[in-house]
Copies of this chain bind each other. A is one copy, B any other.
Amino acid sequence: MDALEICYMSAGQLSGLIKSKEISPVEVIDAHLARIEATEPVLNSFITLLPDEARATARRAEADIQAGKYRGPLHGIPVGLKDLFNTAGVRTTSGSKIFDNFIPTEDCTVAIKFREAGSILLGKLNMHQFAYGPTGENPDYGHMHNPWDPELVTGGSSGGSGSATVAGQCTITTGSDTGGSVRIPAALCGIVGLKPTYGLVSRFGLTPLSWSLDHPGPMVRTVEDAALAMNVMAGHDPKDVASAKVDVPDYTTALTGDVRGLRIGVPEEYFDAPLDPQVGQAVRDALDLLESMGAVVKPVSFPMFKDAFPISTAILMAEASAYHRDLLTKDAEQLYPPIRLRLEAGLFISSADYLRAQQARTLFDRQARQLLEDVDLLAGPTEPVTAPQLLATRVQAGETSMGTTPALTQYTRPYNITGMPAISIPCGFSEAGLPYALQLAGRPFDELTVLRAAHAYEQATDWHKRRPPI
């Protein structure tokens, strides 16, 4: 089988061939390692690559499967973890040279779950330092580069996860999403990124950015793979104080292709905000398609949408600075200056401001929940623009020139504030060949409806089949 075709198979496709022994995990891993070798000089997706360990695990998987011990759909599937997911015996840098020699003694819960499912860890993925930025800069381990155009950002903070997934370096990757860090690189790289409900996926063993906003989630090339990954990642974990005690369904039951009667609300405010008109049109087209498939698409009003930025900024900066305060005392000189600046500024946020922001968050959440009493999903763009130039501090969003961070997080922050599940899926390409993305958000713990709509749209389009030129 052609090695590149293996790299572009979904976990859903690969698992069928692995289970039936038509392909061996060793072959799968070798194909991916070759793909990494060919593309990594341009992309720089990995901070730590584990070729020997991955090959050894693949041989064990092959032997187990030959012996009839097939573990399930992720057995033998190549996985990459963002480098803030602790891995026992494998250094975990959080994207900073300060932790260049930090080797955890304990796996994070997500790593344990992937291992127990039989998946194979290819390496630890590059990221914005401490997950504190939406682009994919990293002076310590090198910037990440967008496979559609290496001059452009991958989006961040889970930028290596975005580039590795769309370039066929990994089948499944993980990200963490505090203001959009799963969905932004998913959108700018043209893949599927799911931020699950707050508390549904354990954060044990992950470096926090802002603990009341942090959500780990899967980054994959198909909605089916998001469901397969969630079947492994989701579930209560007593080691995470915010972990929810809820029943976890089989997420693949969402993949019906049927959206008839599904009510999709489109906040009008999303289209009044700074927005590239071509991105806006692509999203409108996607909603028209869903409507033609039987969904009920209607405008709704979300007046507090404009307050997402100040609410999320105050909470995120305060919590990040509280967590990283010791770092500022001991290692300030080694921090990337823009991140040092943000961490230092966060120390000046008063508790009164923080608590006011948390109070405003309650009102914001209430408004979003009220909207979701009348509709099943909220839809709109994931990003107002396509991928910006690397290190660009400003972008042009329609008629508005604005800061890159506020632009890239404009549509993603609301669902960190509310903790609701939100997915980004590709919904077209610009003339320059850059992906557009649709965001769908649902009620807390209603991942099934989010996945159902995303999957139905995906199956009706070919966007997820397009490959970057690298």
Contacts and interface: CB of A to CB of B under 8 A. Distances in A.
Which of A319, A325, A354 is packed against the most chain B CB atoms within 10 Å?
A: A354
Contacts of A350: 347-351
B241 A351 contact: no
A325 B346 contact: no
A322 B362 contact: no
Interface in A349-369: 349-356, 359, 362
Interface of A: 241, 314, 318-319, 321-322, 325, 346-356, 359, 362
A321 B241 contact: no
A322 B241 contact: no
Contacts of A355: 318-319, 322, 354
A325 B357 CA distance: 14
A317 to B, nearest CB: 8
A169 to B, nearest CB: 37
Given A321-B352, A322-B359, A346-B352, 10 more contacts: A318-B352, A319-B355, A321-B351, A322-B351, A322-B356, A325-B352, A325-B356, A349-B351, A350-B351, A351-B354
A318 B356 CA distance: 11
Which of A318, A348, A355, A362 is packed against the most chain B CB atoms within 10 Å?
A: A355
A100 to B, nearest CB: 26
Which of A346, A351, A362 is packed against the most chain B CB atoms within 10 Å?
A: A351
Nearest to A355: B322
A80 B359 CA distance: 31
A350 B355 CA distance: 11
A352 B322 contact: yes
A352 B347 contact: yes
Nearest to A356: B322
Contact of A351 (B346, B359, B362): B346
Contacts of A353: 351
A127 B347 CA distance: 36
A362 B241 CA distance: 9
A31 B325 CA distance: 62
B241 A318 contact: no
A322 B352 CA distance: 4
Instruction: List 4 A-B pairs, minimum CB-CB distance, nearest first.
Output: A318-B351, A351-B354, A322-B355, A322-B352
Contacts of A348: 350
Contacts of A354: 351, 354-355
26 contacts: A241-B362, A314-B351, A318-B351, A318-B355, A319-B351, A321-B351, A321-B352, A322-B351, A322-B352, A322-B355, A322-B356, A322-B359, A325-B352, A346-B351, A346-B352, A347-B350, A347-B352, A349-B350, A349-B351, A349-B352, A350-B351, A351-B351, A351-B353, A351-B354, A354-B354, A354-B355
Contacts of A352: 318, 321-322, 325, 346-347, 349
A346 B319 CA distance: 18
A299 B94 CA distance: 45
Contacts of A319: 351, 355
A263 B289 CA distance: 67
Contacts of A362: 241
Nearest to A321: B352
A158 B18 CA distance: 71
Contacts of A346: 351-352
A3 to B, nearest CB: 49
A356 B346 CA distance: 14
Contacts of A347: 350, 352
A409 to B, nearest CB: 20
A360 to B, nearest CB: 11
A149 to B, nearest CB: 39
Contacts of A322: 351-352, 355-356, 359
A436 B372 CA distance: 55
A351 B322 CA distance: 7
A318 B325 CA distance: 19
Contacts of A356: 322, 325
A428 B318 CA distance: 48
A285 to B, nearest CB: 41
Contacts of A318: 351-352, 355
